[in-house]
Chains A and B, each alone.
Chain A
Amino acid sequence: MERIPVLRMGSLLLITIQVDMHDKLAMQLQDDVTQRISEWGSTGVLIDISSLEIVDSFIGRMLANIAGMSRVLGAETVVVGMQPAVAITLVELGMSLPGVRTALSVEAGMELLFGAVTAAKSGSGDERTEA
């Protein structure tokens, strides 16, 4: 069965979505991510959606859900590389993904995650303190 690979990079999870998302795939991804976080004790999740060109409200909610679930499991989520058309579509759908962090590129996303992870480790659990 088709599924989106979840890669492990040290304490981070790397997910690159390179196919058109459909609802079943999204549900499968939710299962996989939560499973892996608890299995490997990951502290950060990076989702690269730079190849994603079509979104609907379900996919938008799925992104927000993954971020929410990861936070419950103790991991920070960053969504990187959103296309302009995708961003406009999500805004027009009224989904501003309030709990999700975003970055322009994988590199910037990694930086953000490392910053957030070290901040969390040093005790100041406030997630809004990143630069």
Chain B
Amino acid sequence: MNQLAEIISKNEDRIRAEWMRDMSKIVQRTDLISKGELDEQSRSLLGAIASGVKSSGSTEISGTEWTEARDLLEDISASRARLGFSTVEVATFVMSLKRPLFSAIREALSSDQDKMFNTVWAATELLDRLALVTTEAYMTAKEELVMRQQQEILELSTPVVKLWDGILALPIIGTLDSARTQVVMENLLQTVVATNSKFAIIDITGVPTVDTLVAQHLLKTITAARLMGAECIISGVRPQIAQTIVHLGINLEDVITKAKLSDAFALALQRSGRTVTRISSAPVNPISSLFSRREE
């Protein structure tokens, strides 16, 4: 193994130059990473590999001697994942080191076939392991990204708005899964208590599909609101969704459903003993006529 270390440290500059050339042949992402930065990353990684081989004497990279190389590689992969590199491009970073390294080994050990084979095999194993580390770090970084975005969507997408005294609206955007239902339900119920609202309109215009699971989540929310003494109206049922609901045999008979949010709002106003009328003498402005009829 020490031969491998010796070869690497002796030919470091040349291996790196060839590595850079090979890499740029396969992937060229000058839009995402500058040449100077790439050069710097390659230099420090090659140095870490050389010192890892030298101090550990083997290509088993789980030992403490390899911590530097592993950390370096994980950092590079994670930062590339965030920059928007593809999996192939990230893996190629390590893989393209093979050819330069092999040709350096061939030059140094051309006299001894056995030795050359052993060294090449060791180098292959080493680079494969490093490539696995790269891929794993890349996937982890990507997963973290997805998780964070999911969390952000969850926080953003559940506003409860007050339409009138005692009438709330809850526009739902996106698919309802169990985690979101929980957040939606808690938000709605807490606002019902805080504003003492008797009516809550759940608008599902922004829900792309309603299957049995989504319907079950909706029914749960409605039941919980009813237990507290608030009445729920579902609005924004699109024609396709109405068809799906009937085809799936979902029972929404105990729930008031309306096609549009305005219909649901009108119903809620009517149920709470209010009407909206236009003042004939005033200029026709639906907003001002609405406000002039406000009782409280």
Are A104 and B198 also in contact (CB < 8 A) when A84-B228, A90-B224, A91-B227 are?
Answer: yes
B271 within 8 A of A: yes
Q: Mark B238-271, 1 if CB is under 8 A from A, else 0.
A: 0000000000000000000000000000000001
Are B228 and A102 interface neighbours, CB within 8 A?
Answer: yes
Are A103 and B229 also in contact (CB < 8 A) when A84-B186, A84-B190, A88-B185 are?
Answer: yes
Which B residues lie within 8 Å of A87 (CB)?
A: 189, 224-225, 227-228
Are A104 and B196 interface neighbours, CB within 8 A?
Answer: yes
A105 within 8 A of B: yes
Are A88 and B224 interface neighbours, CB within 8 A?
Answer: yes
Q: Could you count the A-B residue pairs with CB atoms below 8 Å apart for me: how many are there?
A: 58
Residues in A18-40 with C-beta less than 8 Å from chain B: none
Please measure, in the bound complex, the distance between the C-alpha atom of A90 and the C-alpha atom of B224, giving whole angstroms. 8
Residues in A52-94 with C-beta less than 8 Å from chain B: 79-84, 86-88, 90-92
Are A82 and B228 also in contact (CB < 8 A) when A104-B192, A104-B198 are?
Answer: yes
A118 within 8 A of B: no
B193 within 8 A of A: yes
The dominant DSSP class at the A interface is mixed
Please measure, in the bound complex, the distance between the C-alpha atom of A86 and the C-alpha atom of B223, giving whole angstroms. 12
Which A residues lie within 8 Å of B193 (CB)?
A: 83-84, 104
B294 within 8 A of A: no
Which A residues lie within 8 Å of B271 (CB)?
A: 131
Question: 7 nearest interchain CB pairs?
Answer: A84-B189, A103-B229, A102-B229, A87-B224, A104-B229, A87-B227, A96-B223
Q: Which residues of A contact B (CB under 8 A)?
A: 79-84, 86-88, 90-92, 96-97, 102-105, 108-109, 131
Interface pairs (28), CB distance under 8 Å:
A80-B229, A81-B229, A82-B228, A83-B228, A84-B190, A86-B227, A87-B189, A87-B224, A87-B228, A88-B182, A88-B186, A88-B224, A91-B220, A91-B227, A92-B220, A96-B223, A96-B226, A96-B227, A102-B226, A102-B227, A103-B229, A104-B192, A104-B197, A104-B198, A104-B229, A104-B230, A105-B196, A108-B198
